[in-house]
Structure 1
């Protein structure tokens, strides 16, 4: 692995003293039922060579995104925020504009909704959601897709209708690694990847695998994604602290390095930092200046 400068394009933080996380329920998720703060992540990220991150929303409430923006505003590590706003609201464009006026608002780089929790597999195709996605595109933001395999067909149709909007598939689209099955997940991600406005995060794999997973269990899924999206449309993300259910932060980085170790240096650099900068229009961390890696202009 040669791309030792890393941007972690997907992690979370939460403070249970401020807000509960209703999705943390049951014995399997019990280790997550505590606060995970940016200060907890910082030393682990530094040890792994991570110089910038993108923090991603966890709950669909309007109060969380301003808090994440304020956190990014105070942070030397968090370069971008993928927040939440109600896509179905008639004034969604105004709501996005208001978020950008807040402290840290310049670090709003994307929007996400917990589509995986929607009972309607075609939720992304609803007229009010499509209107909201159009507002996201017009604001120059990306849209993170957190979907299950059965929701991939609707995600593909939605992306085909909104070519100006970059759709970022989180966690490989949650493949059924624990069962070892590839289809119909593989067909779904290949169809999504045919669209030029789609990219994918190398994230969340250890949580989709069975307990006691081995790196070999992940390889067929990583190979499928690399073939479908290519190295120029793949971004590394840790999914910390959710990943800690199965692996520590450093181990998740090493897994991603192993899954991409057959690639050349330029392809590895793309996956581990350049693509995140491009897709999310991130403000480049100061330590990049020595490498003369410039940040693209913000989309308008």
Structure 2
């Protein structure tokens, strides 16, 4: 696998959707209530930024849609899709989608499920074993209350790469800290657990400045270190609270102050390593001699 990247940044978490087939977002979220495509992403992030495209709908139709986008746009290096891991045919569905090398992980959207221990059901064990066998990541879309169960998952499946999305979405607006931090500490001690520096500003109060997430972001960097933090924008959800370049530049400054040598790992190389990406060439460099 090519471990170097010609891209200036690999955004480890962004979304695309079409309202015609989307259950979410709904109309009250006016800034993001429209279709978003990889071309829109390039306009926000720049033509030299690649990404991991993450599901936003709990349907296999969405997974197919994202894989089609990835095939059509070189800037989409991989897809984290959705499969119902509790279905009796989950292993077969995972094997089906994994035939496409662009599928690099799955995300069951645990935050919206009534059972906080859903992922630990015996019925899901075959699907989790399949994720390991197929070399796919498990993205954990969770809140603080789910973290003890993610810790149990990490211990039961030490060969499963687990990526905590949005730093587990602490309630920054409500001042949550102690429980969130306390649950992250043991997770950070598990070598198979990674954490995304993403999504934090949308957990702050409306209109809050980026500075309010500094304490949380620094905690993630200190706990997981430069080897196991991946930067992501959570675009276009980010548009509810900030702008792409503002979030990128804010995090870049934080990372540089944390460890001046960590920028390349957190903003590029860790996404390649964790998701097993093949960076390829940016669109502007293709056929440059034609």
Q: Give the structure-2-normalised TM-score.
A: 0.91
Shift of 1:24: 2.4
Alignment partner of 2:9 out of 6, 10, 14: 6
Structure 1 stretches of 4+ moved >4 Å: none
Q: Distance in 2 between matches of 1:206 and 1:4?
A: 25
Q: Distance in 1 between matches of 2:193 and 2:208?
A: 29
Q: Distance in 2 between matches of 1:59 and 1:4?
A: 28
Give CA-to-partner distance per residue, 1:45-65, whole Å, 9 cap, x none.
226x52x10000011111111
Name the stretch that deviates more: 31-40 or 231-240. 31-40
In the TM superposition, 1:77-226 aligns within 5 A as 77-101=75-99, 105-226=100-221
In the TM superposition, 1:233-252 aligns within 5 A as 233-252=228-247
- Matched position secondary structure for 2:263: helix
Question: Does 2:56 correspond to 1:55?
Answer: no
Alignment partner of 1:257 out of 248, 252, 257: 252
Q: Distance in 2 between matches of 1:145 and 1:94?
A: 21
- Matched position secondary structure for 1:55: strand
Native 8 Å contact 2:27 2:33 kept in 1? no
Native 8 Å contact 2:91 2:126 kept in 1? no
1:20 alignment counterpart:
22
Give CA-to-partner distance per residue, 1:49-104, whole Å, 9 cap, x none.
52x10000011111111111111011121000000111112232221221133xxx
- Matched position secondary structure for 2:45: helix
Native 8 Å contact 1:88 1:131 kept in 2? no
1:30 alignment counterpart:
30
Shift of 1:26: 6.5
Q: Distance in 2 between matches of 1:82 and 1:266?
A: 28
Name the stretch that deviates more: 53-62 or 120-129. 120-129
Q: Supply the RMSD in Å over aligned alpha carbons.
A: 1.8
Ranges in structure 1 where 5+ consecutive residues have no aligned partner: 291-300
Shift of 1:123: 1.0
Q: Distance in 2 between matches of 1:109 and 1:93?
A: 15
Q: Give the structure-1-normalised TM-score.
A: 0.88
Cα 1:123/1:16, change in 2 over 3 Å = same
Q: Distance in 2 between matches of 1:278 and 1:173?
A: 21
Native 8 Å contact 2:44 2:244 kept in 1? yes
Native 8 Å contact 1:130 1:158 kept in 2? no
Native 8 Å contact 2:167 2:198 kept in 1? yes
Ranges in structure 2 where 5+ consecutive residues have no aligned partner: 1-5, 286-290
Native 8 Å contact 2:195 2:230 kept in 1? yes
Q: Distance in 2 between matches of 1:256 and 1:213?
A: 16
